């Protein structure tokens, strides 16, 4: 057992993936000598050399386009997008090339690539540094999209994503990088990459979360328990494909569901989750599926971001509303 932060766990996972396969390369802005803005790639260039840990120009489209060529030649590039809001210059490459080449080639050209994106707010950053673009990628066929929420998942999921023959958009909650520590057993048998997990059992309502809001929902469930409300918390982990079996099982028992994410509520992942739960669990539902998320505005200045982000009080308010039906 090794006690790690999420940042250290991701670093250790990348290191192990690079040790296991010499075709794994890391690319991005400042990932080499600096070790990345959040130090996720710290020490990798020193140990694996500049040919495998590549400091790129400030050109996201060029980074991803180069990675496409490398993947076509049998390499497994791991691309770092420095901040979530910087991914849009590469959006065309991701949705037009990365997502479609395998299908376009009739299965002849696999695209084993990981696109790492620190996402979400809560760190007091400036504009374009706190966004949640996951729904745009989950909406694109051909891309797998996952979101880790804790050091154990960070360590294993990054290795599983690198080993995948499909392109994976790998979302990392930046405010969790250095927030908490957990014991990571590097010899354990991990859960598969594309499965959801119940992280707290309950009977009165189900909270669905991923990435940074898992911690928020767990805290809300802990607070609600003091008032006799037992909330079940599910960490979705995988956003495309969605693993709905644990969700259906939970909602069928609790009869109520609240989806929590930092992204805008309008057309966010919560809308898809609400639709699927309603279609499958209609006769078990005792209340409409509710959504808690960011407001339908651009991400605000850092001084007021806590008013914008879903927090414990907003989650508990939704719980009270769903229990009132």
Asked if 146 and 272 sit in the same domain, the reply is: no
Q: What is the chain's mean pLDDT, rounded?
A: 97
Q: What is the CATH number of the domain that holds 70?
A: 3.40.50.970
Cα 198 to Cα 200: distance, rounded to the nearest angstrom:
6
User: Averaged over 11-22, what is the pLDDT?
Assistant: 98
Asked if 44 and 128 sit in the same domain, the reply is: yes
Asked if 51 and 155 sit in the same domain, the reply is: yes
Give me the pLDDT at residue 315, please.
98
Q: How many domains does the chain have?
A: 2
Q: Half-sphere exposure (CA, 13 Å, Cβ side) for 313?
A: 4
pLDDT tens digits, residue range 60-119?
A: 999 999 999 999 999 999 999 999 999 999 999 999 999 999 999 999 999 999 999 999
Name the domain boundary from 142, 157, 184.
Answer: 184
- Taking each helix axis from N to C end, the angle separating 151-163 and 6-20, rounded to the nearest 10 degrees, works out to 30
Asked whether the predicted pLDDT for residue 1 surpasses 90, the reply is no
Asked if 162 and 245 sit in the same domain, the reply is: no
Give me the pLDDT at residue 42, please.
98
Q: What is the CATH number of the domain that holds 284?
A: 3.40.50.920
Residue 131 within any structural domain of the chain: yes
Residue 298 within any structural domain of the chain: yes
Q: Is the pTM of this model over 0.85?
A: yes
Asked if 20 and 159 sit in the same domain, the reply is: yes
* The one catalytic residue among 102, 128, 129, 261: 129
Give first-to-last CA distance, the chain, whole Å: 46
Asked whether the predicted pLDDT for residue 151 surpasses 90, the reply is yes
Name the nearest CA neighbour of 289 among 299, 297, 277, 279: 277
Are the C-beta atoms of residues 177 and 7 closer than 8 Å to each other?
Answer: yes
Name the nearest CA neighbour of 84 among 42, 39, 46, 37: 37
Residue 82 within any structural domain of the chain: yes
Asked if 265 and 318 sit in the same domain, the reply is: yes
Give me the pLDDT at residue 68, please.
98
Strand partners, 144: 168
Residue 271 within any structural domain of the chain: yes
Percent of the chain with pLDDT over 70: 100
Name the domain boundary from 184, 214, 247.
Answer: 184
The question of whether 178 is a catalytic residue gets the answer no
Domain with 87, as residue range(s), is 2-184
Residue 96 within any structural domain of the chain: yes
The size of the chain, in residues, is 325
| DSSP type of residue 288 | P
DSSP H or E segment with residue 89: none
Assign 11 a pLDDT band (cuts: 50, 70, 90).
very high
User: Averaged over 280-305, what is the pLDDT?
Assistant: 96
Asked if 175 and 219 sit in the same domain, the reply is: no
Asked if 287 and 319 sit in the same domain, the reply is: yes
Name the domain boundary from 184, 207, 226.
Answer: 184
Alpha helix positions (H), 21-115: 44-48, 60-72, 91-93, 101-104
């Amino acid at each position: 057992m090794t006690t790690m932060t999420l940042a250290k766990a991701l670093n250790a996972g990348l290191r192990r993936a690079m040790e296991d396969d010499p075709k794994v390369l890391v690319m991005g802005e400042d990932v080499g000598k600096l070790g990345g803005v959040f130090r996720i790639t710290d020490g990798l260039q020193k140990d694996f050399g500049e040919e495998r840990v590549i400091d790129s120009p400030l050109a996201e489209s060029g980074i991803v386009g180069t990675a496409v060529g490398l993947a076509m030649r049998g390499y497994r590039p791991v691309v770092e997008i420095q901040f979530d809001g910087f991914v849009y210059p590469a959006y065309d490459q991701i949705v037009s090339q990365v997502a479609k080449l395998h299908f376009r080639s009739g299965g002849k050209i696999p695209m084993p690539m990981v696109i790492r994106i620190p996402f979400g707010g809560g760190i007091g950053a400036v504009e374009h540094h706190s966004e949640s673009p996951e729904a745009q990628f989950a909406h694109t066929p051909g891309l797998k999209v996952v979101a880790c929420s804790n050091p154990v998942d960070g360590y294993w999921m990054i290795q599983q994503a690198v080993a995948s023959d499909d392109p994976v958009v790998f979302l990392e909650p930046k405010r969790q990088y250095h927030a908490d520590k957990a014991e990571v057993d590097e010899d354990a048998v991990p859960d598969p990459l594309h499965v959801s997990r119940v992280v707290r059992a309950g009977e009165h309502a189900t909270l669905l979360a991923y990435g940074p809001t898992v911690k928020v929902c767990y805290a809300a469930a802990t607070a609600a328990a003091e008032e006799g409300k037992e909330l079940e918390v599910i960490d979705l982990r995988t956003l495309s494909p969605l693993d709905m079996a644990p969700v259906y099982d939970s909602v069928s028992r609790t009869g109520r569901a609240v989806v929590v994410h930092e992204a805008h509520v309008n057309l966010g992942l919560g809308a898809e989750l609400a639709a699927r739960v309603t279609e499958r669990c209609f006769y078990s539902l005792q209340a409409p599926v509710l959504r808690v998320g960011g407001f339908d505005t651009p991400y605000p200045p850092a001084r007021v971001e806590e008013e914008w982000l879903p927090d414990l009080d907003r989650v508990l308010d939704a719980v009270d509303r769903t229990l009132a039906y």
